[in-house]
Amino acid sequence: MGTFFVASLIEENYKMMKKSNLLVLFLALFTTVSYAQLVNQGGTITVQPGATLVVQSDLTNTTGTITNNGTIEVEGNFTNDATVTSASGSKLVFTGSSDSNFEGGTDTYTIVENDKTAGKVILTENLAVSESVDFSGGTSNIDLANFNITLSEATTTNGTQATGWFETSGTGKVVKELSAAATTNFDVGDATNYTPVSVNHTGTYGASAQISAKVTATAHPNIPSDADDYISRYWTVDNSDVTSPSMAMTGTYVAGDVTGTEGDVKGARYEAANWEFATGAQNASTVSATSTAATSDLTGTNFYGKADISFYLQAAYNSTNGNMDKTLNDLGLIPLTSPYDANITANAIPATAVDWIEIEVRDETNPETILSSTSAFLLQDGSVVGVDGSSLPLLKDALEETYLAVSHRNHLAIRTNAKLNLANPVATDLSDASNVFTDPAVVSNPAQKDLGGGVMGLWMGDAGSDNQVSYNGSGNDKVKVLIRVGFATPNDIVNGYYDEDIDMDGDVAYNGSGSDKLKVLITIGFATPNAVYNNHAQK
């Protein structure tokens, strides 16, 4: 057997109108039939088993039918606007050293092989493959661009850094059909690096169940703004028509992806506009996490614990409705920048925010030691939210289980009586005295003020943020109120956002029936004006 070559087709397209029988004979009699360019307009091309149709430029199937029982090799573009039938074991092979566009139409291809030594195969339409995608013959990627490649449950792929992979620099994904629990390896990467993701998935699978993945070679767009240890890569993994899904995901990154200290990076998931760190891990250029969501972005960053806590401030508490007043918010006095950290700024003040508060991560064996802190918002109902105004506060580089302390700029701080799970947080009510630490060394006052009905709140009156409340004596809070108002003008009222505004009404007053000086005395007690109240947070 030999090679049949039609030389005239180097200069003009081969028109296949009404010549199908002749071509069937050619491909049956000769092992390899070669064309410079092939355009099928209404004919029928049949490649018999063992035969190879070689097209040294573009193959365009405009209105005809191609039945592939053997091998079709294409160096240029492959365009199918009609019908291509692929028998089991048949191959569509891309060769050469320049880019080839692949428009596969609505048909399913059995084996797609990328044998290019340079350039790549670029999808210009969604593609379906039923048996295998083979990269072993060359050194070239299949660029999905903005289109998906759907693989049957039985389809295998063998991408590697040396031979090529699915390039997912656009919106296109690798989609895998599935019907049972399995581990699926997605041979994905960017234009330069092979960075696959493996997914061990379980669940109850519907008739159209699928799992898909792609990788993006940038830092996640929603990565916490203060993250300084992270990888500039993330994998998006989706599943559909799966009930109770569970996906154990492991993504492989390259050394150039790492910013900061790699050992401080932990696997993280971004799901439904929230970060999850509970199951994340980092090991030997991989990050991993387990998700039960329909869509999950896997990446690596600093570990962030979460605080699910609630508490009340004495100054703002309204015993009539059991919530806190948000007078400072209503007056528009709460600043967008945290009073505790000038580097923390909110885009907007939550509608029900009472004020900024500070959360401290304490050491698990020495709770008096502060490991890190962040700012958050305290809402009217006592709940605490992060700077975004809705999600739980994130605690950078926190321990997964440890103590927390909370403080307000003119109230005495408290801390938890027990370690809290910051990876899988459980709501903890700090208005319940049993959840708050009592320091036996502090005998002047309880850890919190009894607000009535068994509800406890933080003591008001710490105008100087020195962790004490005092009415008389050196450096007392009464004098700090006077300093804000002015020694020469003690009857003045100063409007604004000030620590000396003990009752949080937007005014600082030294004299008068509702003065802030009086609020300090109320905390200390009319009968004991020389007392000094201290916090129990060991701060």
Match 């304490």 to its residue by tokens. 362
Question: For residues 311 and 255, what is the distance between their CA atoms, to the nearest angstrom?
Answer: 44
Separation between Cα atoms, residue 127 and residue 148, nearest integer Å: 6
Q: What is the DSSP string of 455-500?
A: EEEBPB--TT-SSEEESSSTT-HHHHHHHHH-TT-TT-EEESS-TT
pLDDT of residue 128: 98
SS3 369: coil
The alpha-carbon radius of gyration of the chain (Å, integer) is 34
**Is residue 444 classed as helix, strand or coil in its secondary structure?**
coil
Helix (H) or strand (E) holding 357, with range, is: strand 353-362
Token pair for 335: 């600043």
The phi and psi torsions of 434 (rounded to 5 degrees) equal -70, -15
Distance CA 350, CA 347 (A): 9
pLDDT score recorded for residue 9? 33
Closest to 378 in 3D by CA, of 437, 416, 329, 344: 329
Written as six digits, the tokens of 193 are 């690096």
The type of residue at 128 is A
9 contact partners, CB below 8 Å, separation of at least 6: 35, 36, 37, 38
Report d(CA 84, CA 210) in Å as an integer.
24
- Residues 368 and 399: beta-carbon distance below 8 Å: no
Chunked into runs of 10 residues, the chain (539 residues) has average pLDDT values of 32 38 46 88 95 97 96 98 98 98 98 97 98 96 98 98 97 98 98 98 98 98 94 98 98 98 96 93 96 98 97 97 98 98 96 98 95 96 96 94 97 98 96 97 97 96 93 95 97 97 98 95 96 93
* The predicted structure's pLDDT at residue 35: 83
Give the C-alpha separation, 520 to 538, whole Å. Answer: 22
